[in-house]
Amino acid sequence: MLGLEILGLIALQLYDLHYALSVFQQCHYHLDRYRNWVAEHFSIQRLWRRIQSFLPFLFFLFLKVESARSPSILCVILIYLYVRLQRMKEDRRGVHLRFTNRMCRLSICLLVLAAIVTVFVRTSLSYELYVCLIPFLWMLGWVLLPVASCLAQPIERILQERYVQDARIRLDTCPQLLRIGISGSYGKTSVKHIAYALLKDSYYTLMTPHSYNNRMGITRTIREQLDPLHEVFLCEMGSDHSGELKELLALVRPSICIVTAIGPQHLRTFGSQEAIIQEKMTMIERLPKEGIGILNIDNPFIRGYPLQTTAKIITYGFSEDADVRIVTGKAGVEGTYFVLEVEGKCYPFHTRLLGDHNLLNIAAAIALARELHVSMEQLQTRVDQLPYVEHRLEMKRIEEGILIDDAYNANPQGALAACRVLEQMSGWRVLITPGFVELGEQQKTCSHAFGKAIAQSADEVFLVGEEQVEEIRCALDEEGFPAHRIHHCAHMEEALSLAKQVSHTPKVILIENDIPHLFSH
């Protein structure tokens, strides 16, 4: 019976063990980000509420019959587990955890640590002290996770270095491969997909899939998908702290680099805007002499940076001095018509993609394709056939009208561009957003500007979460937006369901950003 009681105690911790692992994974396995999340979310009041829920176990202090202790405690544990399961069924958001090989190793390590501590508490301490500690056992997962991470780290480093070395060898076996690095605070995934669409019919092209833009994601792509016949490798490179791009550049060694834009994304982890600028522009300054840098000249941080490089530089944007210049652009339900000026000549284009920022993304990809000798006539045809980039101003026709899915757009500039797209749409315009995260000192300013843009472009608003949308609500109130058209929801599923039920027709629903609920306060 004692063994069953210990198993029950471990089972009682499984929810929090799972939750802690999920948070750690969402924090990209960075202990500093994990600690920040825990510090923000576990207030004294919340800790006390959790402890209170386990206080009934203290009644077992008065149970004097030793043979009845384990069965009684086990029965109460089973009741707690049943209640927890019912609550998990009611919580539609869930706690999502991807069991990658790394996560499996970490999970086993954490579970073993929790089991060791639990066995120690039950078998080595006095019965009275053990019962007094039961209300605190749920904390074990949160406290022991950093320990488990540190214990697993040597193994992870050995495995990662082996994988990275294998990726380097594979790259070295493809000397003819043209390696193209794409980075920026935002826009890099879209530029990658658009560039792939423009190049794939002219070159055998490989791109990093989805948002595989860190060291191990790139390594996995190279090891699993690169073959000696590939001619072009489009490599998205992300970074959320200083020095990360240098590691990626050392691995891939690109000869062409695109910097899409620089903004306040991950300002909290970088520490300053200057650190972000330096990190992103490192890509261009580390290019070889015969390399090519492609830059968004409209971005003030890029334009004002004192660039030191001997590589060839090509600029794109709406600015008059851009090498690939967007002259005009008009969006509608059928897409966007725009004109590009290149070397003094104007070329008309059409794309189903929406938003000025997508025109910038297309211009970047065209600048790249031209350097690879793809003709403008071919580019006009291919741009017209561009598919939507998934969850990035992706227009879908639904029974209730039109849904514009911009869920993967998590930056302030893109959000403002999406508002401008919504403003051009006819019908009842509905916007759903959970706001922004990780903007540091600029969180309030960017959220306020977003709120003002929403007031000018939307007829009805659904705000998801609490703290991170407060400034958006304040801006809406300042702009005189009708209070009865502002709705607060706990999660995205609820907001979308309610938005579809809005009585006005026809309607256009814009989903702007979809941050993980773990970061939605």
The 3-state DSSP class for residue 381 equals helix
Which structure tokens are listed for 137? 């056992």
Find out whether 206 and 238 touch, Cβ atoms under 8 Å. Answer: no
Q: What is the dihedral of CA 63, 66, 72, 74, to 10 degrees?
A: 130
Backbone angles phi, psi at 232, to 5 degrees: -135, 135
**Of 152, 413, 437, 168, residue with least CA distance to 299:** 413
32 vs 144, 239, 240, 296, CA distance in Å?
15, 15, 12, 32
The span from the CA of 326 to the CA of 339, in Å, is 6
The span from the CA of 372 to the CA of 143, in Å, is 53
At 105 the pLDDT is: 95
- Per-residue pLDDT tens digits of the chain, which is 521 residues long: 788 999 999 999 999 999 999 999 988 898 988 998 899 888 899 899 999 999 999 998 888 888 888 899 999 999 999 888 888 776 655 557 888 889 999 999 999 999 999 999 999 999 999 999 999 999 999 999 999 999 999 999 999 999 999 999 999 999 999 999 999 988 899 999 999 999 999 999 999 998 789 999 999 999 999 999 999 999 999 988 888 899 999 999 999 999 999 988 777 778 899 999 999 999 999 999 999 999 999 999 999 999 999 999 999 999 999 999 999 888 777 789 999 999 999 999 999 998 888 999 999 999 999 999 999 999 999 999 998 878 888 888 888 889 999 988 778 888 998 998 899 888 999 999 999 877 777 889 999 999 999 999 999 999 998 888 999 999 999 999 999 999 999 888 899 999 999 988 889 999 998 765 444 44
The span from the CA of 514 to the CA of 380, in Å, is 33
At 361 the pLDDT is: 95
At 450 the pLDDT is: 95
The span from the CA of 119 to the CA of 135, in Å, is 16
The span from the CA of 41 to the CA of 39, in Å, is 6
Which structure tokens are listed for 21? 């692992």
Cα 182 versus chain centre, distance:
17
The 8-class DSSP code of residue 222 comes to H
Find out whether 189 and 389 touch, Cβ atoms under 8 Å. Answer: yes
* Pairing of the two strands 486-489 and 178-183: unpaired
- Conformation bin of residue 28: beta by default, left when phi > 0, alpha when psi is -120 to 50: left
Cβ neighbours for 337, distance < 8 A, ≥ 6 positions apart: 329, 330, 348, 349, 350
**Of 2, 46, 10, residue with least CA distance to 144:** 10
At 95 the pLDDT is: 58
* Pairing of the two strands 335-342 and 324-332: antiparallel
- HSE-up (13 A, CA, CB side) for residue 116: 8
Residues counted in the chain:
521
Helix (H) or strand (E) holding 221: helix 215-225
